[in-house]
Amino acid sequence: MQALRSIPRLASVVEMMFADLHLHTNFSDGTYTPEELARRASELRLAAVALTDHDTVEGCERMAAACARASLEFIPATELTAEVDGTELHLLGYFVDTQNPRLLTEMSRFQRVRQNRIREMVARLNQLNIPLQADAVFAIANCRSPGRPHVARALVMGGFCSNLDEAFERLLKKNRPAWVPKFKISAVDAIELIHQADGLAVMAHPGLNRADEIIPGLVRAGLDGVECFHTKHTPTSSEHYVRLAKELGVLITGGSDCHGLNKGKPLIGTVKLPYEYVEQLKAAIARRKSNASAPPSALRTSP
Ligand code: AMP
Ligand code: FE
Ligand code: FE
Ligand code: ZN
């Protein structure tokens, strides 16, 4: 009797559990340390979080330890910048093996590209008579995966811009004078890179791309999911992507894309992904693992 009564209660607890699967730390362009981020997640009573720093998994070890101390479920992940037919898109890799040699080699290449791009952006700023030094940007970034937000912060700290928005609007946005294009891996290669590192590949914030026509091709290339819930998606566009993900038979994810105090207020927890979607991600990973360990004959559908 006792056990029977606890079943609906357990179901309602799961229904009230939420995750935020898109978060950045100061290992890329966020401002929180992994420990600060885990503490915020715990205060917000999130059930699970994923760390999705750009082109790095370096923060995952500390984040995993901090989440374990707070009894918070942690999913190691990353966010890769990729392109398809000239369109930039971001691919999230969930549950990647953070020790995977090929992933680490490729990421260190992406990080070198980022560092060289900072030098090029600073050279352009210097041509505009803004005497910023690359070392000032690297000191602010203090990580291997620096990006434009660090240049923006350096511009504000140096008194060259009054705020981060102005730095982007006047200088760093695409086609502004200090903008430098970034090398991007092809989306198909990025999906393969995530898969060989045992991860699930998910298209981040498709609402920012407004290029839904590329999604079915990505699914054919192995894309596992779509980030339907995101800070910059309206409720209507979230519903649209949930419908599209269901039609295409792929996973549904979501997260706030919190960069700490970089973009005004911290966004962590403002996008609440129902925990059932985390369970679906975990089930997909379990299926992938059991398929990988099954003998080839068990995978054959016909004799
Ligand atoms: P990068 O990877 O170096 O090209 O930098 C991209 C980062 O800059 C992403 O985290 C963006 O969210 C951020 N970003 C782009 N535009 C702006 C903006 N106008 N204000 C603040 N951050 C921005
Ligand atoms: Fe970012
Ligand atoms: Fe992104
Ligand atoms: Zn992001």
Tens of each residue's pLDDT in the chain, 303 residues: 455 555 556 666 666 899 999 999 999 999 999 999 999 999 999 999 999 999 999 999 999 999 999 999 999 999 999 999 989 999 999 999 999 999 999 999 999 999 999 999 999 999 999 999 999 999 999 999 999 999 999 999 999 999 999 999 999 999 999 999 988 999 999 999 999 999 999 999 999 998 999 999 999 999 999 999 999 999 999 999 999 999 999 999 999 999 998 666 899 999 999 999 999 999 999 998 888 887 766 554 443
pLDDT on residue 289: 84
**Measured CA angle at 276 (ends 96, 293), to 5 deg:** 40
Q: Dump the DSSP string for 250-293.
A: -EEEEE--B-TTTTSS--TTSS-EEHHHHHHHHHHHHHHHHHHH
**Model confidence, pTM:** 0.92
Q: How far is the CA of 204 from the centre of ligand 3 (A)?
A: 6
Q: Which DSSP category does 172 fall into?
A: I
Q: How far is the CA of 36 from the centre of ligand 3 (A)?
A: 21
Q: How far is the CA of 191 from the centre of ligand 1 (A)?
A: 23
> Is residue 89 within a helix (H) or strand (E), and if so which, with residue range?
strand 87-94
Give the residue, by CA position, lying nearest to ligand 1 atom 2: 147
Domains of the chain with bracketed CATH: 15-100+198-299 (3.20.20.140)
Neighbours of ion ligand 2 (CB under 5 A): 29
pLDDT on residue 183: 87
pLDDT on residue 293: 82
Could you tell me if residue 252 is left (phi over 0), alpha (psi between -120 and 50 degrees) or otherwise beta? beta
> How many whole angstroms from its chain centre is CA 148?
16
CA distance 71 to 38: 10
CA distance 41 to 268: 7
CA distance 273 to 256: 9
Nearest atom in ligand 1 to the alpha carbon of residue 149 is: 8
pLDDT on residue 1: 45
CA distance 184 to 90: 10
Pocket of ligand 1 (CB under 6 A): 29, 54, 147-149, 164-165, 168, 182, 263
Q: How far is the CA of 298 from the centre of ligand 4 (A)?
A: 39
pLDDT on residue 160: 97
